Structure 1
Amino acid sequence: MFTGIVEELGEITAVETLDDACRFRLRGPAVTEGARHGDSIAVNGVCLTVVDHEGDEFTADVMAETLNRSSLGVLTTGSRVNLERPTAVGARLGGHIVQGHVDGTGEILERRPSEHWELVKISLPADLARYVVEKGSITVDGISLTVVDAGPDFFTVSLIPTTLALTTLGLKQPGDPVNLEVDVIAKYVERLLGGRVAQGDAR
């Protein structure tokens, strides 16, 4: 489990294209410290498994399903990425519960800078809109953020200078894709209530 608090802004140093997958080599001094084969590291919000590591770099395989459902397929050598290791049991939950299982992708629609923060508008797939609510949590490229406004096909978030400086959202421009993971609690609630509604209808 992750919390959506990005540890560092890493970099793709190599991309190897395979028949139905690809292999990334990534640089991230903080997340590779003590890393072992089989460990999990979130890359732009996608939970990937460490294949091997050397120095401050590690490699991870990305299967076709992940490439199709996330924005990882557009990454190239030199792309900057958000990196986070799983949270330790008993550690503070700085953001919210993040699984590293991307639900879909959105697109940066608009950026409105101000003196001390920036409002970013992001497109929202129709099948995810019901899970996004004003002042609720959402994960964008692995970053735990609070929704400012939730529309039928978009939402907005406010970014503080730290987020702009230390994550990919400080670099992305209108038209760029982002990975989205909605609050998993909302999905469980929907599942449970849906079952009860169905039972009630049967009566």
Structure 2
Amino acid sequence: MFTGIVEELGEIAAIEPAGDSVTLAVRGPLVTEDAVHGASIAVNGVCLTVVDVKDEVFTADVIKETLDKSSLGALEPGSKVNLERPVRLSDRLGGHLVQGHVDGVGEIISREPGERWDVVTVSLPPHLSRYLVDKGSITVDGISLTVVEAGADRFSVALIPTTLALTTLGHKGPGDPVNLEVDVVAKYVERMLGDRR
């Protein structure tokens, strides 16, 4: 379980094909401080299992299912990625409950720069629109964000200077893919109400 509060902007050090999967090598000095084999680290919002750690770089195997249903397949060596370690039960929940299970991939449609912030509009796969509400939560590339405006096929978020400086959303532009995870609470509520009908 994660919070969507990105700890570090890491970098893809290498990508090694392995049949229908790949092994990602990710540079992240902060998240590797206490990482061990079998630990979880979210990479652009995708929960990955650490295989090995050495010299501030961890490796993780990414299977075809994950490559097909997330934007990780578009990464290249040198790509910047958002990194977050799992939340500890003693930590504050600064963002919202994030599982690291991507629900779909959106695409940045536009950026409107403000005086100190940007409003970014992202396309939304139609099957996810029912989970978004104005002022609700969504995770974009692993970042916990508040929805400004929710539409049938798009939504907007406002990015503060810290988010622009310390995450991938400060560097991405129109046409770039982003991983989306909707609020898990909304999915459970839908399921429970559906069973009562």
Name the TM tier (shorter chain).
Answer: over 0.9
User: Paired residue for 1:200?
Assistant: none
Residue identity in the other structure for 2:129: A
User: Paired residue for 1:98?
Assistant: 98
User: For 1:25-174, what aligned pairs fall within 5 Å after superposition?
Assistant: 25-174=25-174
Residues 96-143 of structure 1: CA deviation (Å, up to 9, x unaligned)? 000000000000000000111110000000000000110000000000
Residue identity in the other structure for 2:176: D
Question: Alignment partner of 2:185: what SS?
Answer: helix
Quote how far apart the aligned CAs of 1:159 are. 0.2
Question: Alignment partner of 2:77: what SS?
Answer: coil
TM-score (norm 1): 0.96
The structure whose Rg is larger is: 1
> How many residue pairs get matched?
197
Question: Alignment partner of 1:4: what SS?
Answer: coil
Identity %: 70
Residue identity in the other structure for 1:34: D
Question: Alignment partner of 1:65: what SS?
Answer: helix
Q: Distance in 1 between the 2:32 and 2:90 partners?
A: 21
Q: Distance in 2 between the 1:124 and 1:177 partners?
A: 11
Q: Distance in 1 between the 2:34 and 2:127 partners?
A: 39
Residue identity in the other structure for 2:152: P
Q: Distance in 2 between the 1:117 and 1:174 partners?
A: 16
In structure 2, stretches of 5+ residues that fail to align are none
In structure 1, stretches of 5+ residues that fail to align are 198-203
Q: Distance in 2 between the 1:170 and 1:157 partners?
A: 13
Q: Distance in 1 between the 2:100 and 2:26 partners?
A: 17
Residue identity in the other structure for 1:63: I
Q: Distance in 1 between the 2:34 and 2:122 partners?
A: 36
Q: Distance in 1 between the 2:159 and 2:143 partners?
A: 11
Quote how far apart the aligned CAs of 1:83 are. 0.1
Quote how far apart the aligned CAs of 1:20 are. 1.1
Q: Distance in 2 between the 1:5 and 1:82 partners?
A: 9
Quote how far apart the aligned CAs of 1:19 are. 1.1
Quote how far apart the aligned CAs of 1:15 are. 0.3
* Larger mean Cα displacement after TM superposition, 178-187 or 12-21: 12-21
Residue identity in the other structure for 1:62: V
Q: CA RMSD in A?
A: 0.4
Question: Alignment partner of 1:30: what SS?
Answer: coil
Q: Distance in 1 between the 2:180 and 2:117 partners?
A: 21
TM-score (norm 2): 0.99
